[in-house]
Amino acid sequence: MSRVEEVESRRKVAIVTGASSGIGRITSVALCEAGWNVVLSARRKDALEETARMCEEAARDQSVQATELTLVVAGDVTQESDVHQLFERSIATYGRIDMLFNNAGITGPSKPLEDISLADFMAVMNTNLVAAMLCTQHALRYFKQNASGGRIINNGSIAAHAPRPHGAPYAISKHAIWGLTKSTQLEGRSFGVTCTQLDIGNAMTQMAQGAATTGALQPDGSVKVEGSIDARHVARAVVHIAGLPTSVTVLQMNIMATDMPYIGRG
């Protein structure tokens, strides 16, 4: 076996959903820099291919280059058939999966709870919760058959603990993710499977840009610009947790700007 083949055989494999932009894209790049192969999942193939190019550029300075550094699998993770294909292609390409980052998510409309349509509510629940549930099911089935177990990281939110005004669907979905995280940790621990919820404050992505620039609605009715962090800090947190042995669990981690309102929000 050549040196390149030996290095590639040791490379761990991560699946990242919502990898076409924001935290998913930045984390995918950071994982590749750290020596992982990354399966990039989202609906927009062209955006995923741009993420793949960024990963290859970031990993170019590594002493040993791996073939097929990334795998692009475009699809809708709210659909069970697409999730099945995502995991099948990942295993067929790399022969292993070591980590799943359930990152895909949307915020939904900013409206009073009573004015939110069922369609808008279900769109948020399907993307933020159902997709994570489907991917977790597939990951658990694989990890339970794998003697070395595996790791799942769920993108939670400050809203899993302290909702924003007019953000009920998002907060409800992220509270539910906390239940999924704890259930996954409970059911996986005898099989070497560990699960983490990463509760992120305002990270400078398109999703959180408004709160850090034009301001966000506060519980007292005011609109205030909130503190934010570079999303690369989030990516580094994911890389750190992903690099721990599966005998170590980080059940929940909060990462946010020091001056972001959270405790006593607003």
Mean pLDDT estimate for the chain: 89
Specify the 3-state DSSP secondary structure of 15: strand
Task: Please check whether residue 265 lies inside any domain of the structure.
Answer: no
Task: Please check whether residue 263 lies inside any domain of the structure.
Answer: no
Known catalytic residue: 262? no
% of the chain at pLDDT higher than 70: 89
Task: Please check whether residue 264 lies inside any domain of the structure.
Answer: no
Task: Please check whether residue 24 lies inside any domain of the structure.
Answer: yes
CA of 195: how far to CAs of 141, 142, 238, in Å?
Answer: 14, 14, 12
Confidence of residue 5 (pLDDT cuts 50, 70, 90): very low
pLDDT higher at 221 or 109: 109
CA of 130: how far to CAs of 27, 42, 45, 157, in Å?
Answer: 22, 15, 21, 16
Residue in 157, 173, 183, 228 annotated catalytic: 157
pLDDT computed for residue 259 by the predictor: 81
Structurally, the chain folds into a number of domains equal to 1
Q: pLDDT, tens digit, for every residue of 43-91? A: 999 999 999 999 999 888 665 455 689 999 999 999 999 999 999 999 9
Residue in 41, 90, 170, 173 annotated catalytic: 170
Known catalytic residue: 174? yes
Task: Please check whether residue 249 lies inside any domain of the structure.
Answer: yes
Among 24-33, 37-46, 131-140, 208-217, the range scoring the smallest mean pLDDT is 208-217
Report H helices in the chain.
Answer: 3-10, 22-33, 45-58, 80-94, 118-125, 131-145, 168-188, 209-213, 231-242
CA of 235: how far to CAs of 40, 170, 231, in Å?
Answer: 15, 22, 7
| Alpha carbon distance 156, 253 (integer Å) | 9
Confidence of residue 6 (pLDDT cuts 50, 70, 90): very low
Find the CATH number of the domain harbouring 67. Answer: 3.40.50.720
| Alpha carbon distance 230, 211 (integer Å) | 14
Residue in 174, 183, 224, 228 annotated catalytic: 174
Q: Please, are residues 246 and 150 in contact by the beta-carbon 8 Å criterion?
A: yes
Q: pLDDT, tens digit, for every residue of 167-203? A: 999 999 999 999 999 999 999 999 999 999 999 988 8
Known catalytic residue: 142? no
Task: Please check whether residue 266 lies inside any domain of the structure.
Answer: no
Task: Please check whether residue 138 lies inside any domain of the structure.
Answer: yes
Query: What range does the domain containing 37 cover?
Result: 3-255
| Alpha carbon distance 149, 190 (integer Å) | 9
CA angle 150–245–179, rounded 5-degree value: 50
pLDDT higher at 129 or 217: 129
Task: Please check whether residue 260 lies inside any domain of the structure.
Answer: no
- Whether 33 has a pLDDT exceeding 50, the answer reads yes
In this structure, the chain runs to a length of 266
pLDDT computed for residue 258 by the predictor: 83
